[in-house]
Amino acid sequence: MINDWQNSGFGVYIHWPFCLAKCPYCDFNSHVRADIDQTAWRDALVSEIRETAKITGPRDVNTVFFGGGTPSLMPPETITIIIAEINKVWGLNPGAEISMEANPTSVEAGRFAAFSDAGINRLSMGIQALNDTDLKALGRMHSAEDAIKAFDIAKKYFSNVSFDLIYARQNQTLENWCNELKKAIDMAVDHLSLYQLTIENGTRFGDLYNRGKLRNLPDEAIATDMYFATQDICGAAGMAGYETSNHCKNGKECLHNLNYWRYGDYAGIGPGAHGRLTINGQRFASSTHLSPEKWLDEVKKTGLGRAEFERLSTTDQAIEYLMMSMRLNEGADLARYESLAKTKLKTSVINDLTSDGLIENYRGNLRSTAKGKPLLNGILRELL
């Protein structure tokens, strides 16, 4: 009998926690530091990879993802060493997807050739907006012109290039967003991650919002119209949504993120990284220390920067699987859910949601409809 994670596969996530500046909307584990000991960080990341592999045993790695923070600020030679270590201790499958997040500043764009030589074959660019006024409001350090130039450079070196945009920004109208999205698609992009601006506590925007000083955000009705317009415009351009916030041309999905949503195993390396690892048939949730300094000190002492390593019950796994897989257009495999949960979802709830036109059973997969997608959180509450 296969372990459940083998329904999807195994990936490795590397978290680089440093940025040149902290964006006011960002609640990721990112930090600004004047001085970074690159050798110490390279050695620590390699150590955590090595020690994690001792726990998992042999695995075939399908995907690697360098996230952050701003991992494109890492020296390319560090990328080369990390990829080589992953291949040494686990083994990279031929054609494995190796992704990196990057910002479109001139400093990072100039490194794209070196990152490609190091083994990166997919680039995800944090563009966020295509006009300078909004980029400044979002705290970004690049201009729209910088973004377009960096994107054109990236396409020369990487077989798969994606970029992110944020909508429902301050002072943004539905017409503004539709025009911006069409411009993005005209740039011949293969993959777009399109996120509605969310205001998170603990961020600069969160502080301003709580004090009533984050003004002119589109109301909920306009934001909803932006969401549906996004689906229509991307669909008409051959970039259907395969996940709640992700659109691509056929065959250009982000395989690493698909592994999350399909509930595979993944090792989380670096400060604040989370993982899901199946050991001797038992699945565990792992996390590492958020503080870069604390993580680094712990790795120097023990080889790992681990904060928690918690066994997940089958009920926990079933809930996580449903919550992740229902984000996908393909939905959740009911047989797989029932195998994990040792029970079935309530037929009456499924029937009610189906009657309301919010979900459907398609060839044994439970998935949300176009009407249901914006209401996914509520649907999950009802199902669980």
Average of per-residue pLDDT across 32-41: 93
Q: What is the pLDDT of residues 215-232, one digit of tens each?
A: 999 999 999 999 999 999
Q: Is 351 exposed, middle or buried (0-12, 13-18, 19+ CB in 10 A)?
A: exposed
Superfamily of structural domain 4-260: Aldolase class I (3.20.20.70)
For the chain, the structural domain boundaries read 4-260, 332-384
Q: What is the pLDDT of residues 177-214, one digit of tens each?
A: 999 999 999 997 899 999 999 999 999 999 998 999 99
User: Residue 251 pLDDT more than 90?
Assistant: yes
Number of separate helices (H) and strands (E) present in the chain: 15, 15
Q: What is the pLDDT of residues 288-324, one digit of tens each?
A: 999 999 999 999 999 999 999 999 999 999 999 999 9
Give the SS3 label for residue 224. Answer: helix
User: Residue 1 pLDDT more than 50?
Assistant: no
Within 13 Å of residue 158, how many CA atoms lie on the same side as its CB?
Answer: 35
Q: What type of residue sits at position 297? A: D
**pLDDT above 70 as % of the chain:** 99
User: Residue 106 pLDDT more than 90?
Assistant: no
